Structures are given as structure tokens and as C-alpha cells.
């Protein structure tokens, strides 16, 4: 009865990415993932271009047509790269008030601003 979101870790390593994607697809197609996340903060780190990330997202969506697919990144990358937003089924935004220098007293306010 648990809902499971499976993350597919991507990097600059094309061979490792292929293996990660194959594993994520297999997990989803076996019925063990309710959603898939293709890449985690690859845009923030600069590991992949938006175009390359989109190709990976499209590959996974084609292989798993019944599983919603997205990528996870810091919230401002979704506004910076709207072409990525057009390819995903949902938004998985990372919001980190602490890393933005926001005090704990103002963290929720900053979270809601970013959201």
C-alpha cells in the first residue's frame, strides 16, 4: 500500500546513465514504482544540458507509458528551463531555505515564496 517514487541517478557518465535508466524502467514496468524521477539536480550541478535531460526523460516516458515521470531539481531551474517543464508529468522541486542562508524562523516563509 505504499506509494513509491523511484529515482534514476544521472551524471555525466553516459554508460552509468544507461544502466540507471534500464534499472528504473525495469522497476516501474514490474509495477514497483508509482512515479519515476529522472535525474536529481543535474541542471543545478551542470552535469547535463536541458536538451540531454529532456532526451532521457522522453526515453523513460516512452518505455513506461503508465508511470508519471519527472526530474528533481532546485525550484528555480524549472523557471530557468521551461522546456524541461513541458516534458515532465509533475514537478519535483527541491527547496532548501537553509542553503539560501534563511534563518529557521523564516524558513517556512521562504519555502512558500519559492513554491
What is the block-wise mean pLDDT of the chain (115 residues), using blocks of 10 residues? 94 97 98 97 97 98 98 95 98 89 90 87
pLDDT, residue 99, reads 83
What are the DSSP E strand ranges found in 41-91? 69-74
pLDDT of residue 56: 98
pLDDT at 48: 97
The reported pLDDT for the residue numbered 98 is 87
Question: Can you tell me the distance from the alpha carbon of 6 to that of 89, in angstroms, rounded to the nearest whole number?
Answer: 14
- DSSP tag of 59: H
pLDDT in tens, 46-72: 999 999 999 999 999 999 999 999 999
Residue 97's pLDDT is 85
**Percent of the chain surpassing pLDDT 90:** 84
Report the b/e string of 68-78 with b at 16+ CB within 10 A: bbbbbbbbebb
* 73 phi, psi to nearest 5 deg: -160, 170
How far is Cα of residue 75 from the mean position of the Cα atoms in its chain? Answer: 11
Query: What pLDDT is stored for residue 100 in this prediction?
Result: 85
Residues 6+ apart with CB under 8 A from 15: none
- Is the separation of the CB atoms in 69 and 89 below 8 Å? yes
- Is the whole model's pTM more than 0.85, yes or no? yes
- What grid cell was written down for 76? 528555480
Amino acid at each position: 500500500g505504499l506509494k513509491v517514487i523511484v529515482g534514476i541517478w544521472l551524471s555525466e557518465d553516459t554508460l552509468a546513465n544507461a544502466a540507471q535508466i534500464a534499472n528504473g524502467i525495469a522497476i516501474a514496468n514490474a509495477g514497483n514504482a508509482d512515479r519515476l524521477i529522472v535525474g536529481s539536480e543535474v541542471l543545478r550541478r551542470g552535469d547535463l544540458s536541458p536538451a540531454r535531460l529532456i532526451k532521457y526523460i522522453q526515453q523513460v516516458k516512452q518505455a513506461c507509458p503508465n508511470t508519471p515521470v519527472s526530474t528533481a531539481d532546485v525550484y528555480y531551474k524549472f523557471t530557468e528551463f521551461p522546456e524541461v517543464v513541458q516534458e515532465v508529468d509533475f514537478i519535483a522541486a527541491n527547496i532548501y531555505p537553509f542553503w539560501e542562508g534563511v534563518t529557521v524562523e523564516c524558513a517556512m516563509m521562504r519555502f512558500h515564496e519559492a513554491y
